[in-house]
């Protein structure tokens, strides 16, 4: 049960109809795990954070909630290196639990990097609905906005590694990136890959199940043997875990398409429990099988 809560609680805070400040993530500790010579995993209240820490300073992938910043900084201070100056922060996508902490890092001199669609959504603000939960994301302040954006890919040569961010269109959202630490053999996938169960597909923000499947397959193909694969939420994975996730995505999509070929409505699919094969393992209190059918139907229609 404790492991399940570890997976679900960050998602709950992302999706509950309250502000990030009301979620009070400052009461949650941040764990700090070394994955390679220079890359660490930080797990707190929001999405998983990857950190390259070395003589050039620190590069972070995702920034958690702003209210968790002191815990993140305390965790980074545990690294036994010459410099823990935070130079760059990537946002894997625009949701609060992965980017609300931008401003505190920017104020101490970090450059925030994201796909251009992330900056656009941060400027406009959004309403994110996950199952019955709705969270308003207000427009970001100028300090919190990504100041370096790109369209397809960008590389940083940092701490004797190539840190490469690549955009994959129409996945979890329309602004998702996958960040690879080439020498360290670590890949951070953001919420394209999660381990709490059925994933959230933000269809209004351009997300599709086809894009998620395609991106996961591409990462599985190029990730080096023995690579650590960091999901947006949940414990670090390896290739076999990502393959199992892909099989679930493909299987559920195929079940919906078969039902559509039989001219079943959304409600008929839900009543027939067409995802019963995956329901027990992947349903959670935020995204159950009925909700995931809705995501698939909506994203395939796009």
CA 96 from centre of chain: 10
Which pLDDT value is given to residue 82? 62
pLDDT band at 146 (very low <50, low <70, confident <90, very high): very high
Domain count, the chain: 1
Domain assignment present for 120:
yes
pLDDT band at 12 (very low <50, low <70, confident <90, very high): very low
Domain assignment present for 291:
no
Domain assignment present for 7:
yes
Is 0.85 topped by the overall pTM? yes
Which pLDDT value is given to residue 68? 93
Domain assignment present for 265:
no
Instruction: Give the bridge partners for 129, in sequence order.
Output: 134
Task: Indicate if the pLDDT at residue 28 is higher than 80.
Answer: no
Backbone angles phi, psi at 234, to 5 degrees: 105, 180
Domain assignment present for 195:
yes
Quick: pLDDT tens for 195-244. Answer: 999 999 999 999 999 999 999 999 999 999 999 999 999 999 999 999 99
Domain assignment present for 189:
yes
Q: Which has the closest alpha carbon to 177: 226, 123, 232?
A: 232
Task: Report the alpha-carbon distance of residue 190 to residue 116 in Å, rounded.
Answer: 16
Residue 18 is part of which domain span? Answer: 2-241
Quick: pLDDT tens for 102-123. Answer: 999 999 999 999 999 999 999 9
Order of strands, sheet of 148-150, starting from the edge strand that comes earlier in the sequence: 31-34, 39-43, 49-54, 57-61, 86-90, 111-115, 148-150
Domain assignment present for 36:
yes
Give the CATH number of the domain where residue 168 resides.
Answer: 3.60.15.10
Domain assignment present for 277:
no
């Amino acid at each position: 049960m404790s492991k399940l809560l570890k997976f679900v609680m960050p998602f709950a805070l992302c999706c509950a109809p309250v502000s990030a400040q009301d979620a009070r993530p400052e009461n949650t500790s941040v764990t700090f795990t070394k994955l390679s010579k220079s890359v660490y995993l930080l797990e707190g209240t929001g999405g998983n954070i990857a950190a390259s820490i070395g003589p050039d300073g620190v590069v972070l992938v995702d920034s958690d909630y702003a209210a968790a910043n002191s815990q993140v900084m305390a965790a980074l201070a545990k690294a036994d290196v010459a410099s823990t100056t935070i130079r760059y922060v990537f946002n894997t996508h625009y949701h609060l639990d992965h980017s609300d902490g931008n401003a505190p890092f920017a104020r101490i001199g970090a450059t925030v990097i994201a796909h251009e669609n992330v900056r656009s959504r941060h400027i406009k603000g959004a309403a994110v609905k996950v199952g019955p939960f709705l969270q308003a994301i207000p427009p970001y302040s100028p300090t919190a906005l990504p100041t370096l954006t790109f369209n397809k890919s960008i590389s940083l040569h940092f701490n004797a590694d190539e840190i490469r961010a690549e955009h994959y269109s129409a996945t979890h959202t329309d602004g998702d990136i996958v960040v690879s630490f080439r020498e360290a053999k670590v890949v951070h996938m953001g919420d394209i890959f999660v381990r709490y169960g059925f994933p959230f597909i933000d269809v209004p923000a351009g997300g599709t199940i086809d894009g998620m499947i395609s991106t996961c397959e591409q990462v599985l193909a190029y990730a080096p043997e023995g690579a650590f694969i960091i999901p947006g939420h949940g414990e670090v994975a390896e290739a076999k875990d990502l393959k199992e996730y892909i099989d679930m995505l493909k299987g559920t999509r195929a079940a919906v398409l078969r039902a559509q070929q039989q001219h079943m409505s959304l409600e008929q699919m839900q009543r027939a429990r067409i995802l019963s094969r995956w329901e027990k393992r992947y349903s959670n209190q935020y995204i159950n099988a009925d909700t995931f059918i809705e995501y698939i139907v909506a994203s395939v229609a796009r």
